[in-house]
């Protein structure tokens, strides 16, 4: 199976890759995360992932776009539904990329986080699968989240403190987790 795995960061990738390896699946990883801000955060996540992937001998394909302006422009004033927009944006690029390059299916490491909106991710991915004619490979990776975080710490990875968008960083500092949902 030729799987393209959208990857948000190295810490979230660790256990997803372990799970896939147990199924004899060796995916190519895909970096496309124009939602991550500020640039220092974007760069830390991207560079940690690139080093991890090089160390384990997998392929990393990148759409390396620090997209503050394009992300905010696409979002418009609809801050309430920003997570839905963000998932669709990244999963559309992943599905399109996978379909154009002959992959059998696509998935995402976003499915490991208990802090992400799992149902919205799955809905967005299934919509993009239909739009681009490529299957979405679904796995609920959440049971491996804590173990993956532990392994990431042991490896000395940069571990982020918020999902990536500028709004989640604001909420982190203000203690407000009252976003979409």
- The continuous run of DSSP H or E covering 94 comes out as helix 82-100
9 is in an annotated binding site: yes
Torsion angle, alpha carbons of 172, 139, 180, 63, to 10: 70
CA 153 → CA 43, 64, 146, distances in Å? 18, 25, 11
| Nearest-angstrom CA–CA distance, 138 and 141 | 9
12 is in an annotated binding site: no
| Nearest-angstrom CA–CA distance, 79 and 89 | 15
Contact present, 28 and 131 (Cβ < 8 Å): no
44 in helix, strand or coil? helix
Annotated binding residues:
8-9, 83, 86
Annotated binding residues for [4Fe-4S] cluster:
8-9, 83, 86
């Amino acid at each position: 199976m030729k799987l393209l795995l959208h990857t948000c960061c190295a810490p979230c990738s660790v256990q997803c890759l372990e799970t896939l390896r147990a199924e004899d699946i060796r995916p190519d990883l895909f970096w496309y995360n124009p939602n991550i801000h500020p640039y220092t955060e974007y760069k830390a996540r991207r560079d940690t992932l690139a080093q991890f992937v090089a160390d384990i001998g997998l392929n990393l394909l990148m759409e390396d776009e620090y997209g503050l302006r394009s992300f905010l422009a696409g979002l418009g004033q609809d801050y309430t539904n920003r997570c839905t927009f963000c998932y669709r944006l990244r999963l559309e690029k992943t599905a399109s990329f996978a379909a154009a390059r002959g992959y059998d299916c696509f998935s995402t490491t976003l499915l490991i986080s208990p802090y992400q909106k799992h149902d919205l991710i799955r809905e967005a991915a299934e919509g993009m699968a239909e739009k681009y004619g490529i299957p979405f490979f679904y796995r609920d990776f959440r049971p491996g989240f804590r173990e993956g975080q532990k392994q990431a710490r042991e490896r000395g990875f940069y571990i982020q403190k918020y999902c990536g968008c500028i709004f989640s960083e604001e909420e982190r500092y203000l203690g407000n987790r009252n976003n979409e949902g």
